[in-house]
Structure 1
Amino acid sequence: MAVDTTVTNDLRKEIVKCNDKQQLVNLRQQLDTFEQSIDMTGVTTFEQKRIKQLIDGLYKILDNKQIQLSMNRFEFIGDPIPPRHSKNQIKLIEKQDLAETNSGSAVFELLNESIDISETRYVLITSSTNSIISTDKLSPPPSIHMRNTTDSICTLTSKGAIFIHNVRNSILVLSCHQARLHNIHNSIIIVDKVKNNRIIIEDCSGLVINQQIEVDDFNHPTKESINPHYKVIDQDSLNHITQRISNCSVEDLRVIIGKCFELTQ
């Protein structure tokens, strides 16, 4: 299926010039709908990769725009002070952005935290280090973007797509319409539910993935040889891992992740 570049070009222009959070939400919905309408049946691996890069590029622009619009604004108080008066300082007063609670995406940056995310907005996790993350399974967000994650356990449920970039030494439990993983290393991937039981990976290594899941690896498109970038875990080991991570605390996170990897050897 050929992708209509007129649609993607128009979306790109609208995202770049967008200065309103609610409008950005609408643009994300348009991109989600467009992305889900793409049928990869019969499409060559090369073309699949090109389409993925095109869509991922648009989502990246969206995420950056969301961060830009979500940043707190600052206001100078008083007249400007010339540099020679070094003892005087310009005061900055942070203004609360009330619109953030009403529209747009929910943006998270996590360090040594355990958090249950209950959001009906789009979820953007910009970074996570030594943290435990879960989203509401009964009322999940429309889509999730997560990047820059290390030493974390993430149980993510989304009505739509989950896009994950730059992850190391973590355990990901996913339930979604579509899952795309880029630059994921030395991590355990447990897919509870995904459309067509298929996930897409690129630039990944050292992955452990549960059974019954088809993996489209853009760096190893052939099915005629063993994929060096991931291996499949047996059901018994998977059950033990699921049990271990169910009652994990932040303090024990690295130890538990290490023991889970031992079960995959």
Structure 2
Amino acid sequence: MSATKPELRTVNVIRYGKPLREGGSLPALVEADDDFLYVLKFRGAGQGTKALIAELIGGEIAQLLGLRIPELVFANLDEAFGRTEPDEEIQDLLRASEGLNLALHYLSGSITFDPLVTTVDPLLASQIVWLDCLITNVDRTVRNTNMLIWHKELWLIDHGASLYFHHSWQNWEEQSRRPFAQVKDHVLLPQATELDAVDAQFRQILTTERIESIVALIPNEWLTNESMPESADEQRQVYAQFLANRVATSELFVKAAKEARNALV
């Protein structure tokens, strides 16, 4: 578990491979100029840069806490990149995503986590549940686990549905201190029997300084929005304070998670 200041590499996308699934976000498999394959999340799709911000913050916090996630990189998409794409929908997506996007290293040969096949250790399950309560991740359910098995180990992906407060940006401070009601649908909740121990450990790791260093990674261009009167720095301050508040009051979401688990088992 590293205490160093987080950094992300920047790569240039050189080849569009294929879309990975249907849906509003249309993530794609791409090749970059470092000769690696990545799953690219487009700034011009779905919830736009807010999904990328949630992906960045959620992934970096997970990594800080010692959980496995594919390497995150900034991925630059040149304005000329989509000109030869024959599919009009994809061409529009590429044009809307010129500039800096976010990508995850492609885990070749990985398989989707199946809770009926793989049993997760109670400590690891508790760590993942705690993380998702912290970042208010609504997208780790039986229907869509957003976890992969790669080399017999569990890897977390897709945190773009987290931090949903930023879609309305209202009452964010009140929301930062609320329990996470959606934890009742978490795929790993039945195995999460070590939440108190995890809470004590993770509260020590997630200091204000470490939270701020992660939030500082958000590029200015992702925070430039005519509908937002706040500056980029002011928005970063809100993200940092939202997370700091949740850490400081984590006993609330831990208690709610334990109650939801007791209702299941």
TM-score, normalised by the number of residues in structure 2: 0.29
TM-score, normalised by the number of residues in structure 1: 0.29
Considering fraction of residues, name the structure with more strand. 1
Bigger Rg, structure 1 or 2: 1
Considering fraction of residues, name the structure with more helix. 2
Higher relative contact order (CA 8 A, sep 6+): 2
